[in-house]
Structure 1
């Protein structure tokens, strides 16, 4: 908890809010699991009905709490006004995170990000100890020089779970990713700003009940694991349908 939650009443209120979010997230995950196991996804025409999902207020809350949409965010790709935001919580020692980065993310970028439909925002969520935390800080440091995405892809292209993530190795990968000032990279990676940025991402994930990597929120709707492309396509279609239904309701209410 943050230093502001110093009184018992504020601490209790904060814990209650977190528990409420976790309960809603679990319920949402169960709903997704049932949908995925029920014989396939609905057509895009049927997805418009998902705007009436009783869990939608929870998804809206997650989307509002997590989608930063900041101009110049070095850990994001895509327009800040894209109708759908995908937030990814990942660890650099997670093999499934690597699979998503190598296999699925390029397709998402080509099909949705480049078309202005999707924005992808990365969150460092190291869960495998000090090496993971060091790699997370390194990714943030690469972002300081505008090379986050290149470093991110370089790490997942070259490393697998169990590989060493020592500082010298990360600096080598940073150089291959186009980071120009390696001395500044090392300084940033070991500085308090990197530590604070990673901690902020971690606390955000934990507050939402994220327990494993990769975990995604697509328009606020949770999606766990390195799912096949069709799962992301369906999630994006649902999120677009919700946005369209909301825009239509607002227009008709004027």
Structure 2
């Protein structure tokens, strides 16, 4: 873990000068891939969900290599916090500069087993956020940002009401819901079906 956190610190340092600090109430667009890709894959995940952490170690990297990097799809991460701690983690991700947010997000999933089960999880979260350049005062401000909390809550409610999202990790592929940890053959078929339908339009 120490080695990975050191790598994280270097990554954050490299990104620190790229973007101004975002207003806390802004929601970052955590998207990979071409905007004009024929298929849009939306991932609904919670930072405290072990199955989501598994997805970020297994199927997500495969999706990125196979479909995103080849221009066939773009991948959008949408927060779907299942508990207060997951909400706190999401609030930190959306309180750092936009270019830092994806690195912090991936780190929270990669290190989930350490911070989510820590004796003081919020303190552990604050430590990781510190590597992202957040001061203790900025971390406290993020946790206390009621407007940001409400925006994330509203986004979750919208996902439930409009997409029927009720568990994590879940994907929608051009609007069609599928389990994120489904077998790769099943995911491939779903993406290829969406791709073929998009080409007919």
Is 1:217 aligned to 2:172, yes or no?
A: yes
CA contact (8 A) 1:126 1:202 kept: yes
Aligned match for 2:194, one of 221, 239, 242: 239
Q: Which runs of 5+ in 2 are unaligned?
A: 1-26
Is 1:199 aligned to 2:153, yes or no?
A: yes
Q: Bigger radius of gyration, 1 or 2?
A: 1
Aligned match for 2:32, one of 57, 77, 81: 77
Partner of 1:227: 182
Structure 1 vs Structure 2 CA RMSD: 2.3
CA contact (8 A) 1:97 1:213 kept: yes
CA contact (8 A) 2:38 2:199 kept: no
Q: Deviations along 1:14-39, whole A, 9 cap, x unmatched? A: xxxxxxxxxxxxxxxxxxxxxxxxxx
Partner of 1:15: none
Q: 1:186 to 1:150 in 2, by over 3 A?
A: farther
Partner of 1:153: 106
CA–CA distance in structure 2, aligned partners of residues 79 and 101 of structure 1: 20
Q: Which runs of 5+ in 1 are unaligned?
A: 1-71, 247-254
Question: Aligned pairs, how many?
Answer: 171
Instruction: Give the 3-state SS of the residue equivalent to 1:160 in structure 2.
Output: helix
Aligned match for 1:173, one of 128, 148, 156: 128
TM-score (normalizing by structure 2): 0.75
Equivalence map 1:1-254=2 (5 Å): 73-127=28-82, 129-142=83-96, 144-160=97-113, 163-164=117-118, 166-176=121-131, 179-182=132-135, 183-207=137-161, 208-246=163-201
Q: 1:116 to 1:189 in 2, by over 3 A?
A: farther
Q: 1:83 to 1:186 in 2, by over 3 A?
A: farther
What is the deviation of 1:225? 4.4
